[in-house]
Structure 1
Amino acid sequence: MASIRKRGPYQWEVRVRRKGYPLQCNTFESKAEAEAWASTIESEMARKVFRSFSEAENTLFTELLDRYGEELTPKKRGAKQEASKLRVISRYPIAEYSIALIGGKELAEYRNTRLKSVSPKTVHDELVLIGHVIKVAMQDWGLALPHGNPIESVRKPKVGNNSRDRRIFGEEEKRLLAACKEYGEPLPSIVTLALETGMRRGEIADLQWKYINLKNNTLHLPETKNEESRDVPLSSTAIRTLNKLPRNINGRVFSMRADSITKAFSRSCSRACEHVFERMAGEETDCDNCEGIKNLRFHDLRHEATSRFFELGLNPMQVAAITGHKTLQMLQRYTHLKAEDLAKLLN
């Protein structure tokens, strides 16, 4: 049963009580609006289709972002990156909206604002994260929304083909390794291992001696990006590289963190100019105007290794077993065969 009472010249308070349902309250500027709302609530309760959205109306989106960041994000391998995305989203006006008021329009405004400063891929990933935060709130936290998950009402930006085809050519590998040696261990060993195994940066950084079996020429990765373990075969070069390394008391193979590897690699690429061998020999050189190796990222070493596996004659199943790629499509993204090597196979 609904009760309506006047609270001041422009305010009408409505209370709807019905057995089996929580008390529903709302306030309107006119009596007609109050009566219409009460009639709708009573009708839904009578038809047993009523759902209370009061919690969603009183919950700010930033509260969901905070809870998600505290309860779910720390359990993920990419926790640091996801936490950064959550912080970015929380800085925009959409975070201060009541979650019940967020719809396609509000998400489109967020999308268009972000596209002015970051790439479509970044915005796409942020919208996916927003959608998952709301999905978890609905499915696991019992939050009822009037129109379901609003992420379904917004068009995500199209993400073009962002695969890279950078290979290592000519003397680039020699110059790169020389620059890495100039930087110092363990960087040259890390780069060599990446080229010989196709392992990801994080997999190399987390490598432990207890998972390396030099008798069987294999190493074991208990955790990978796709959350599955895998065994990686070791080439003779990889084995020689590992045998030269000192054993750390903490059991880790390398002392460098993943982000430190990226910074050191970038610096070495810049230093890997034509004069790197002269510098290594102690000769004086003028490298102020040298460009080094351009447009090479550490992750490109995984592309290079994968392509080399195919050039050695391994079939897709064998290469996937080494690299951990789950689909042929993903394996193709990491494979860039040299035309001259394919020509040799044809002649």
Structure 2
Amino acid sequence: MPASYLCRKERLIGKSKQRMRRPERWELDKLLAWFSPGRRKSKIPMQDVLLFAVFSGRRQEEICTIRWDDFDERRGGVLVRDMKHPREKVDTWVDLPAPAIALIKRQPQAEGEPRIFPCDPKTVGRKFSKACTMLGVDDLRFHDLRHECASWLFECGWDIPRVARVTGHKSWATLQRYTHLSTGEVYDRWADWEWLPVKG
């Protein structure tokens, strides 16, 4: 019997508090301007990495390991290898919204480099955290960008099965906390955003 089960049964631990932090537009504006290639000399395309997280719902480790061979533009998606699930890691096919596809297509293909975003996830995390501190963006984590993608898709009127095909969630219950965003009028908070790679 798992120790975690016994601890929950004895009420030594409980369910972790669900985090619902969403980035504000001004926060992402400041971060993307901070990572402008003209301002920062870096081999990591941090602007596109951040944008890809927002519009694909991928974790930073996944972004940094996605391969060109696993991208299928005709099918509109990508194979994410060893995707994290509660008890295992599984190769998982996910759909990509149009802005995420546009971001992939504008990446240069370097000879001998199989990855689309060839960078170290820990370095991405450090750069992101440092920029947030320098810019006064409080309590924003890279993983919040993944949550933003799910929130955005529900606001755009997508249903749970369609959103799950993007996020890769096997259990729809995990996405239930976002479903309130799909009620009422359809709204795309990024539709007129200057950083949007493509309409759609």
| TM-score, normalisation: structure 1 | 0.45
Asked if 1:320 is matched to 2:164, the reply is yes
Contact 2:57 2:147 in 1 (8 A): yes
Match of residue 187 from structure 1: 46
Query: Number of paired residues?
Result: 176
Determine the C-alpha separation between the residues in 1 that align with 2:180 and 2:131. 25
Asked if 1:237 is matched to 2:96, the reply is no
Seq. identity, %:
27
Contact 2:65 2:118 in 1 (8 A): no
Amino acid at match of 2:69: K
Change (3 A) 1:220 1:160: closer
Match of residue 300 from structure 1: 144
Q: Report the Cα offset of residue 266 of structure 1.
A: 0.7
Q: Report the Cα offset of residue 343 of structure 1.
A: 5.6
Q: Report the Cα offset of residue 228 of structure 1.
A: 2.8
Change (3 A) 1:180 1:157: farther
Contact 1:307 1:337 in 2 (8 A): no
Change (3 A) 1:238 1:264: same
Q: In the alignment, which of 109, 125, 149 is matched to residue 247 of structure 1? A: 109
Q: In the alignment, which of 266, 290, 307 is matched to residue 129 of structure 2? A: 266
Q: In the alignment, which of 17, 28, 36 is matched to residue 162 of structure 1? A: 17
Change (3 A) 1:236 1:320: closer
Amino acid at match of 1:221: V
* Deviation by residue 1:170-209 (Cα, 9 ceiling, x = unmatched): 4222122112324443211111111111112221121111
Determine the C-alpha separation between the residues in 1 that align with 2:101 and 2:184. 31
Contact 2:160 2:179 in 1 (8 A): no
Determine the C-alpha separation between the residues in 2 that align with 1:236 and 1:317. 18
Asked if 1:175 is matched to 2:37, the reply is no
Determine the C-alpha separation between the residues in 2 that align with 1:343 and 1:212. 34
Q: Report the Cα offset of residue 156 of structure 1.
A: 6.3
* Deviation by residue 1:289-347 (Cα, 9 ceiling, x = unmatched): xxx211000000011000111111110111112111122331235x3866xx85646xx
Match of residue 59 from structure 2: 200
Determine the C-alpha separation between the residues in 1 that align with 2:45 and 2:179. 28
Change (3 A) 1:337 1:190: farther
Change (3 A) 1:258 1:337: farther
Determine the C-alpha separation between the residues in 2 that align with 1:343 and 1:218. 29
* Deviation by residue 1:110-167 (Cα, 9 ceiling, x = unmatched): xxxxxxxxxxxxxxx9x54xx9xxxxxxxxxxxxxxxxxxx79x94622344211101
Asked if 1:209 is matched to 2:68, the reply is yes
Match of residue 190 from structure 2: none
Computed over aligned residues only, the root mean square deviation of the Cα atoms, in angstroms, reads 2.8
Counting only pairs closer than 5 Å after superposition, residues 85-96 of structure 1 correspond to structure 2 as none
Q: Report the Cα offset of residue 232 of structure 1.
A: 2.5
> Equivalent residue of 2:90, what SS?
coil
Q: Which structure 2 residue ranges, 5 or more long, are not aligned?
A: 187-200
Change (3 A) 1:191 1:336: farther
Moved over 3 A (4+): 182-185, 341-345
Q: Which structure 1 residue ranges, 5 or more long, are not aligned?
A: 1-124, 132-150, 274-291
Amino acid at match of 1:231: W
Determine the C-alpha separation between the residues in 1 that align with 2:165 and 2:101. 19
Greater RCO, CA 8 A, separation 6+: 2
